[in-house]
Amino acid sequence: MKEAITYELLHVCRQSGARRGVIHTPHGDIQTPIFMPVGTQATVKAMTPEELKDEVHAQIILGNTYHLFLRPGHELIKEAGGLHKFMNWDLPILTDSGGFQVFSLGQAGLRKITEEGVEFRSYLDGSKHYISPEKSIEIQQALGSDIMMCFDECCPYPSDYKYTEKSMEMTTRWAKRCKEAWTNENQGLFGIIQGGFYKDLREKSAKDLIELDFPGYAIGGISVGEPKEEFLDILNYTAPLMPENKPRYLMGVGTPDYLIEAAISGIDMCDCVLPTRIARHGTALTSHGKLVARNAIYERDFSPLDPECDCYTCKNYTRAYIRHLINMKEILGVRLLSIHNLRFLTKLMDRVRIEIENDNLLTFRNEFYKSYGYTN
Amino acid sequence: MKEAITYELLHVCRQSGARRGVIHTPHGDIQTPIFMPVGTQATVKAMTPEELKDEVHAQIILGNTYHLFLRPGHELIKEAGGLHKFMNWDLPILTDSGGFQVFSLGQAGLRKITEEGVEFRSYLDGSKHYISPEKSIEIQQALGSDIMMCFDECCPYPSDYKYTEKSMEMTTRWAKRCKEAWTNENQGLFGIIQGGFYKDLREKSAKDLIELDFPGYAIGGISVGEPKEEFLDILNYTAPLMPENKPRYLMGVGTPDYLIEAAISGIDMCDCVLPTRIARHGTALTSHGKLVARNAIYERDFSPLDPECDCYTCKNYTRAYIRHLINMKEILGVRLLSIHNLRFLTKLMDRVRIEIENDNLLTFRNEFYKSYGYTN
């Protein structure tokens, strides 16, 4: 079976150990490390594909299996010619497995986990559904993403050792079933390392999944509410366990500091809804920290959101105008903030890639933290 | 005083009498007859200026004096460099006078009309405000629109003769005060013919305003809830009363049939919130009538909204996808429908201009009505 997804290592930062690479996919190459915008319901909220390409310079986006399974349904998307065609996006797509949403959105008591799979009720209308490892792959194959994820259980934080161990072992058995269900050689499938905040479980999970030989690996189950030190501890322990010749994906991370730390630990890919979610609440990411656009101090501020930014929003609009739009609940306000926030993160990662090539990522991190206002 | 706004007549349709012309403004020429999108709060809802230019091919947009006066305030917009700069739009802008909103949005009992002007309470926070003819011009000059409108009273439908007569006469006196308050020669000022559904009052209003010699004239106070026959009766009576050498504007009209009838009566300009408003409710205008995108029949319909349309939406997306976005309340759904609906009307007017040049507008109207499903 030919590999749909391959990884090419270009350079390792001599200062930080971060990786500069390229992921080859059926819909084109991805320069890594990369931040991936999330298109939950077959749309990156408020954005067109052209804006994602031309303004944000996104190289790959995510789709959410759970949401697309419920609405409009994976069979409908398959009939439409797959998710790329349905949403008019011709660059790579990664789909999650649905596991995270089943567990985090499933209401207590309305979700039943067995070895076979998970029964749950839709958050939309209460209807009953079932996702197993095989079903997750069936859905993701119908969607036609470039990168599929194994169906896994993401333990809540905190979870005790016993629960985490049992869950991680089931996730490994599910990964095996996912691999067996995977038939489309034009799609890749990544294994997800679980094991919570227990290093021996992380080690066991990585070892067992590597034996299954996936085209790529992810770290799941961190950045789920724990303190930053615990996040960094598990990240820095787990990332080096992942194969060097394959893509490494840290799931659900999107704050500037976590993205930089992920790169330093050797991670290639991250995703998060943060930039578009905070845009809808009127908040911008800037070189000098978060900016709450509706604040009265910006009422007559005719400077751009971030004077150091080159995005469409910052080239053409003032804080005063964006504040007005957000206060008036105008869609354009959300659009302008979404473009800016997404571009802020993709631009940050453009810079991270350059600093890796220059063997300078730790120096850059320290400067960035100072400018952004992080205490490091 | 040099004229900021001038009208050039290019051709009169020998079949219908419709006018094909050009309005020259400080921000460029406008090919007429034209439909003008409305940008109530310094944004055409859900659209960027680039989309309005490149996708919709809008030549001029409206701003609403009443809304901009309340938020963010005309003085702030003046500080920002005017409305064009504030909202990043460098083509012509027409501002209404605020009169229509003061009268239609003012809650009963919270609005006091005197000869001097109108006291009203903000729909946003109940705060008390005052707009007089002089104030309206002050606001519109601060906004810096290319075309300003005289402050007028738009009578509700129906209104009795006595009330309508008194109101029309006050509107004429207000028009005189507006003209006296107008000092910026880079802006034009249009008079608004009122007189409700009484032809002698329309005639009197037109005559008195023409004596005041404005650079353009509008018809106000029709398309306010009356039956179509009454609308057409007053439109076809009033339009020929307007000077031939100046722009003629019919306010608040935006359904396809009313736009065509307006052109036939000799009108050059129309505006309406309809295309963007119905977009937000999930409805598209098409060559074959209105299409309610959320309807179940479109669930698996992989054809464009309107197969005869050349817009961004119709070139790239299916009814099934748009239905999904609207059902999921995704902003992109509103965006795609807004682009399409606005383009539908500007394209209709592109066609109307060609049919005028070809002396064929009545034939086209009859064909269009048949295709759209209007009973004529």
pLDDT in tens, B298-321: 999 999 999 999 999 999 999 999
pLDDT of residue A107: 63
Could you give the 3-state DSSP secondary structure of residue B221? coil
pLDDT of residue B105: 73
| The pLDDT of residue B1 is above 60 | no
Q: Which residues of chain A are within 8 Å of residue B79 when distances are taken between CB atoms?
A: 300, 302
Q: Which residues of chain B are within 8 Å of residue A45 when distances are taken between CB atoms?
A: 330-332
Alpha carbon of B51: minimum distance to chain A alpha carbons (Å):
12
| The pLDDT of residue B79 is above 60 | yes
Does B317 contact chain A (CB < 8 Å)? Answer: yes
Q: What percent of chain A clears pLDDT 70, i.e. is strictly above it?
A: 98
pLDDT of residue B107: 63
| The pLDDT of residue A178 is above 90 | yes
| Cα angle value A137/A142/A145 (rounded, 5°) | 80
Indicate yes or no: CB of A324 within 8 angstroms of CB of B72: yes
Read off the pLDDT of each residue in A101-130 and give the average, rounded to a whole number: 85
Does B31 contact chain A (CB < 8 Å)? Answer: no
Indicate yes or no: CB of A330 within 8 angstroms of CB of B72: no
Three-state secondary structure along chain A? CCCCCEEEEEEECCCCCCEEEEEEECCEEEEECEEEEEECCCCCCCCCHHHHHHCCCCCCEEECHHHHHHCCCHHHHHHCCCHHHHHCCCCCEEECCCHHHHHHHCCCCCEEECCCCEEEECCCCCCEEEECHHHHHHHHHHHCCCEEECCCCCCCCCCCHHHHHHHHHHHHHHHHHHHHHCCCCCCEEEEEECCCCCHHHHHHHHHHHHHHCCCEEEECCCCCCCCHHHHHHHHHHHHHHCCCCCCEEECCCCCHHHHHHHHHHCCCEEEECHHHHHHHCCEEEECCEEEECCCHHHCCCCCCCCCCCCCHHHHHCCHHHHHHHHHCCCHHHHHHHHHHHHHHHHHHHHHHHHHHHCCCHHHHHHHHHHHHCCCC
Alpha carbon of B53: minimum distance to chain A alpha carbons (Å):
15
Read off the pLDDT of each residue in A134-158 and give the average, rounded to a whole number: 97
Considering the entire predicted model, what is its pTM?
0.98
Q: Which residues of chain A are within 8 Å of residue B334 when distances are taken between CB atoms?
A: 331
pLDDT of residue B278: 98
Indicate yes or no: CB of B300 within 8 angstroms of CB of A79: yes
Read off the pLDDT of each residue in A207-225 and give the average, rounded to a whole number: 97
| The pLDDT of residue A105 is above 80 | no
Read off the pLDDT of each residue in A294-300 and give the average, rounded to a whole number: 97
Query: Which of B111 and B170 is assigned the larger pLDDT?
Result: B170
Q: What is the pLDDT of residues B167-209, one digit of tens each?
A: 999 999 999 999 999 999 999 999 999 999 999 999 999 999 9
Alpha carbon of B80: minimum distance to chain A alpha carbons (Å):
7
pLDDT band at A8 (very low <50, low <70, confident <90, very high): very high
pLDDT of residue B289: 96
Indicate yes or no: CB of A331 within 8 angstroms of CB of B334: yes
Read off the pLDDT of each residue in A94-121 and give the average, rounded to a whole number: 87
pLDDT of residue A223: 96
Read off the pLDDT of each residue in B86-96 and give the average, rounded to a whole number: 98
Read off the pLDDT of each residue in A110-137 and give the average, rounded to a whole number: 92
| The pLDDT of residue B102 is above 90 | no
Alpha carbon of B323: minimum distance to chain A alpha carbons (Å):
9
Euclidean distance between CA atoms A51 and A93, whole angstroms: 16
pLDDT of residue A18: 98
Question: Which residue of chain B is at minimal alpha-carbon distance from A75?
Answer: B300
pLDDT of residue A314: 98
| The pLDDT of residue A150 is above 70 | yes
CB contacts under 8 A, B 57-86 vs A, are 71-72, 76, 79-81, 86
Q: In whole numbers, what is the pLDDT of chain A averaged over residues?
A: 96
Does A176 contact chain B (CB < 8 Å)? Answer: no
Please list the residues that pair with B217 across neighbouring strands.
B191, B248
pLDDT band at B108 (very low <50, low <70, confident <90, very high): low
Read off the pLDDT of each residue in B30-35 and give the average, rounded to a whole number: 98
pLDDT of residue A104: 80
pLDDT band at B74 (very low <50, low <70, confident <90, very high): very high
Q: What is the pLDDT of residues B41-63, one digit of tens each?
A: 999 999 999 999 999 999 999 99
How many residue pairs from chains A and B have C-beta atoms closer than 8 A? 94
| The pLDDT of residue A10 is above 60 | yes
Q: What percent of chain B clears pLDDT 90, i.e. is strictly above it?
A: 93
**Would you name the residues of A annotated as active-site residues?**
96, 271
pLDDT of residue B185: 96
pLDDT of residue A376: 53
